[in-house]
A and B are shown apart, each in its own frame.
Chain A
Amino acid sequence: MIHQYKNNGYNIVMDVNSGAIHVVDDLMYDMIGQFESLSKEELIQAMQEKHPEIAVDVMEEAYGEIQELKDQNALFVEDVYEPYIDEFTNRPNVVKALCLHIAHDCNLSCEYCFADEGTYNGMPKELMSLEVGKKALDFLVENSGNRRNLEVDFFGGEPLLNWEVVKGIVNYGRELEKTHDKKFRFTLTTNGVRLNDEIMEFANKEMGNVVLSIDGRPEVHNRMRPFPNGAASYDIVMPKFQKFAESRNQTNYYVRGTFTRNNKDFAKDVIHLADLGFKEISVEPVVTDPKEPYALQEEDLPELFAEYDELAAEMVKRYKKDNEFNFFHFMIDLAGGPCVYKRLSGCGSGTEYLAVTPTGDLYPCHQFVGKKDFLMGNIYEGVKNNELREEFKKCNVYSKDKCKNCFARFYCSGGCAANSYNAHGNINDAYDLGCELQKKRIECAIMIKAAEAELDAEE
């Protein structure tokens, strides 16, 4: 299967099943599109009609190159992976990552919050105790099999409302590392309101990554991320985030925003953050009930695509300049990247990755917390809902009809189970609007790689 598209002056051909990415000239671009449906003679004839300015021997040469790529298994490769998925889904149950809901409470009142300001579908406002946090790490170690690298994200609500417990859990984790030959990678997601020097210092020592929530331009941020009394939060958090990012040497963090229908021109928000000096930026589409006035709609797609194009072109202009920056959703690893098993099976929600509530209940991921049908068990008794775990375990690219013929399937791995459930009531479907945006981002990300390769070659 191939996918071909033009972006920012580049003709790109993705060979989906091998993962090969080719940048081709106009002639080859047109020839590849019809290579499998026409004979050689028919194809050359078609090209003579379309490109009368090009000599036939040049067409023969391009044809030969296509054939060579095919012979090298870099073009028109068949999907041979499906038989492996059964073996992979029957693997032993291992948990390697927890999202700890350290505080089901928040000091901001963000309009789009999928966590309902920490109350997740009407759960009580509460903080996780140190005892629950420690037990969660015990649960993780006990269920991690021979996986050495374990991940724990401090999430909320707002984790800094329960900072002393965060520190206690980290310290406990460091003790467990010594006795169990495990390595914890802690991460923190925060709105920044309570950030101070002591927290930054501890986080810089202990947190492998921090996610700093800010939406971009002041008016965009303040509209959706006010304090409960309606007051603006941008001026409170921005200086702290700038200081925090600098103190981490502009690495191992993301400023992370959400764009909504209120700021379809979100590229300006990304650029705003970049021009303030941030180097690691993620601004992502809102996920919410489509009835909300700020929810993205299908009719918005052309505008949103244009914004991604504009952003990608701007990043190319800034490549290797002082003002360059990294955009999370355009990150793509063409030289390496994950193995095919990871690409087929996705994020691991409900299996390798679980969310833990302040009282120790287990859910498939943070987005399912509070949905009672998705309660999986608790940290004291472990996963009790084996039927649900099996459902998540079997959720993969081949279990979703919409993904089977999609060029993006090895990059998004079938998409987010929670998005699918929220859109269709079923984790084996796909959130169509999200898919369209994901596909566009992949195209842009690959174009950026093509442009960077060209700029590198010119040096």
Chain B
Amino acid sequence: MKHVKTLNTKKLCNTVKTGGCGECQTSCQSACKTSCTVGNQTCEHDK
């Protein structure tokens, strides 16, 4: 496409079937302790 560059390929809706295992890190254990920062976390299955 000439007018657009899409940065990502993974679609959120695809994780409806694959997600929910709960093995991922708890967000507040990383650094924040005062906010909720989930979008930066890694799925354990992608490691």
Contacts and interface: CB of A to CB of B under 8 A. Distances in A.
Interface residues of A, number: 90
Interface of B: 1-13, 15-16, 18-44, 46
Contacts, number: 213
Interface majority SS (helix, strand, loop, mixed), chain A:
mixed
A20 B11 contact: yes
Given A96-B26, A415-B35, A338 B43 contact: yes
A170 interface: no
B interface, over-half SS: loop
Contact of A22 (B7, B12, B31): B7
A339 B37 contact: no
A99 B19 contact: no
17 contacts: A23-B7, A62-B3, A65-B2, A91-B20, A185-B25, A329-B35, A329-B37, A334-B10, A339-B43, A343-B12, A347-B38, A410-B12, A412-B37, A413-B27, A415-B36, A419-B34, A453-B7
Contact of B34 (A114, A333, A346, A413): A114
A19 B12 contact: yes
A199 interface: no
Given A149-B44, A332-B40, A343-B39, A352 B22 contact: yes
Interface of A: 13, 17-25, 27-28, 61-62, 65, 68-69, 73-74, 77, 80-81, 84, 88, 91, 94, 96-97, 99, 114, 147-149, 151, 153, 155, 185, 187, 189, 209, 211, 254, 256, 258, 282, 284-287, 328-329, 331-343, 346-349, 352-353, 365-367, 410-417, 419, 434, 438, 442, 445-446, 449-450, 453
A335 B23 contact: no
Nearest to A280: B31
A24 B4 contact: yes
B6 to A, nearest CB: 5
